[in-house]
Chains A and B, each alone.
Chain A
Amino acid sequence: DTAVSQTPKYLVTQMGNDKSIKCEQNLGHDTMYWYKQDSKKFLKIMFSYNNKELIINETVPNRFSPKSPDKAHLNLHINSLELGDSAVYFCASSQGGFSGGFPEAFFGQGTRLTVV
């Protein structure tokens, strides 16, 4: 059983489209995250949800909107896609968040988004 799973693994779409990436974790963790890894390989946090509540919202265009229907799911919806949104997006989870007692993060396999 995959601990953190993301779908789709690859996503190619045209500029201006709206797309979603889904993430599910079966670890029973209470905190989930979205990270972006750009072409220079920097891995940067975008959002953090703890028990369905938004904790971190880094400087991210408001075209990006996370949705957490329950503790085990955190989806990422992107409106009006731009060329610069092309990157690999990783979902991750941990127990207690990064200020808590079990901060080790488990990552999904990533979604490679290409905007053409």
Chain B
Amino acid sequence: SQKIEQNSEALNIQEGKTATLTCNYTNYSPAYLQWYRQDPGRGPVFLLLIRENEKEKRKERLKVTFDTTLKQSLFHITASQPADSATYLCAPNSGYALNFGKGTSLLVTP
């Protein structure tokens, strides 16, 4: 069955450091993979999309990599800020569906 695993449930880092979140998937051959941010009591918000023929994508302080051989995506937040504290969800597509990992809760402390 298809599985999406995000590396840890919680990640604590100090302000200014780079946060790296991992997403591994099995039994998927996604044409693309998305990352979303979810704050408590809110719906997920789209951050970045990377396609299978792209190795890396950047947007401001965010960077995503996609390794279809390893079946893994890495999500980096550089120069992290307390405002980056949230849950980050990985979502590889599967045909018409977009299923989400459980998410990694990131806490950035001053």
A103–B41 CB distance below 8 A? no
Main secondary structure of the interface of A (DSSP, over half): strand
CA distance A33 to B44 in the complex (A): 13
Q: Which residues of A contact B (CB under 8 A)?
A: 4, 33, 40-45, 48, 55-56, 58, 90, 92, 97-99, 103-110
Given A45-B97, A56-B96, A98-B95, is A107 in contact with B32 using a C-beta cutoff of 8 Å? no
Chain A residues whose CB sits within 8 angstroms of the CB of B89 once the complex forms: 43
Given A41-B102, A42-B100, A43-B89, is A90 in contact with B43 using a C-beta cutoff of 8 Å? yes
Chain B residues whose CB sits within 8 angstroms of the CB of A45 once the complex forms: 97-99
Min CB gap B71→A, angstroms: 18
- The reply to whether the CB of B18 lies closer than 8 angstroms to some CB of chain A is no
Number of interface residues of B (CB under 8 A): 23
Q: Which residues of B contact A (CB under 8 A)?
A: 31-32, 34, 36, 41-46, 49, 87, 89, 93-100, 102-103
CA distance A58 to B103 in the complex (A): 21
CA distance A116 to B43 in the complex (A): 24
CA distance A48 to B95 in the complex (A): 12
* Extra 8 A-B pairs, beta carbons < 8 Å, given A90-B43, A104-B34: A4-B43, A45-B99, A48-B96, A56-B97, A98-B95, A103-B98, A105-B44, A105-B46
B102–A103 CB distance below 8 A? no
Chain A residue at smallest Cβ distance from B43: A107
